[in-house]
Chain A
Amino acid sequence: MYSTLNRLNHLSSLATTYILILLGLISISSLITLPTVNIGKVDIKDLIVGRLRRWGAKEEDLATLRFDVRTDLNPLLNSYNTKQLFLYLTATYAEPTGDVHDVVLWDRIVTRADMRDFRAVTKKNQAQPARGKRGRGNVRLEEVKNKYPWKQPSGSFKGVATANFTLHYDLMPYVGLLSSGVAATARGPINIPEVIKR
């Protein structure tokens, strides 16, 4: 009749098939029930464009800013197939030549383990720990500096009048399809100031 090897082979192939079917169902169902987020608010402050002059290096413009964010990502973190959220703030702007630029200025990994309200340490209140209440996904960022240098490939912001700022989220599931969306936006385009003269 059947040998031990035969039985083992049959059992493992059956197990693999059913596990794969289960994982497929999980990823489809979590995609169908994907929650939506109420789009929150980004406030851009202290946007400054300066000119970097370093000996031996190309002269180039450098923009810096601070920003506040208020948004609620609770529905995303309540979904059972959420392993991690990746939050990132982008600046999108166009030049008169038709070039379109899209740049990440700040990002943050939010794992399921640190599912809590989270706040960034503010300039005014350094003593407060960078973590909020446990258990919810309220995002409160205050006066956060940009994490990545904001430069132009051409070296100059000349001709760039305004930029749109958006906080996106990227949802990593335990299994299945990745999804992304908008968590918060700035109200309308923000003016890019002239280069500060020294």
Chain B
Amino acid sequence: MFQSEIARFRKLGVQGLLFQALNFLSVIASGLMMWKALCLVTNSESPIVVVLSGSMEPAFYRGDILFLWNPANVPYAVGDITVYRVPGSEIPIVHRVIESHITNTTQLLLTKGDNNNETDTMLYNGMEWLERKHIIGKVRGFLPYVGYVTIAMNDFPKLKYALLGAVGFFLLIQKEHEHA
């Protein structure tokens, strides 16, 4: 099946191969640039997240995609669904704000998952309240199921490498078809 592809590679030569590699890199770079631009616009370090737990069911299930934004100078309000990350833990958490205490210097927040019985104090790694600096953004938009691909890739790492390899390979041979 791949005999003809390998033959084409031979025909490409070093220059052609380098050109394809450059093409491949520019695709990756433009993707990265779009992501960073989105970060700038939304003022959030990760404007698109995938739901990993069931603590907000029936609103959000595992694999749903959330679009975040984090307007500067606008305090978070009670009822906002926020995504936060406490120091000492890697995984961001999607939960709703249920208490807000604004003082002269700071805003203290308490969150809770809609589907949980307890508030999140246990998740704060010893902190009593959440503060603005811990919050990545507020959920504004919702797209169901699509993010399940990333969950599948995390659960089965081989799938991730297979997918990456396939994409890279097809990018390399794609141009050749158009030339022919």
Contact = CB atoms under 8 A, between A and B. Distances in A.
A103 B59 contact: no
Contacts of A177: 140-142
How many B residues touch the partner, as a band?
A: 20 to 34
B114 A109 contact: yes
Contacts of A100: 101-102
Contacts, number: 76
Contacts of B96: 86
Nearest to B108: A153
Interface residues of A, number: 31
Interface string B79-107: 10100000000000000101111111000
Contact of B78 (A83, A90, A153, A175): A90
B144 A102 contact: no
Contact of A148 (B98, B102, B139): B98
16 contacts: A84-B58, A88-B78, A97-B103, A97-B104, A99-B102, A99-B103, A99-B104, A101-B99, A102-B78, A102-B99, A103-B98, A104-B79, A172-B142, A176-B141, A177-B140, A177-B141
Interface of A: 6, 23, 27, 83-84, 86, 88, 90, 97-104, 107, 109, 111, 148, 153, 168, 170, 172-178, 180
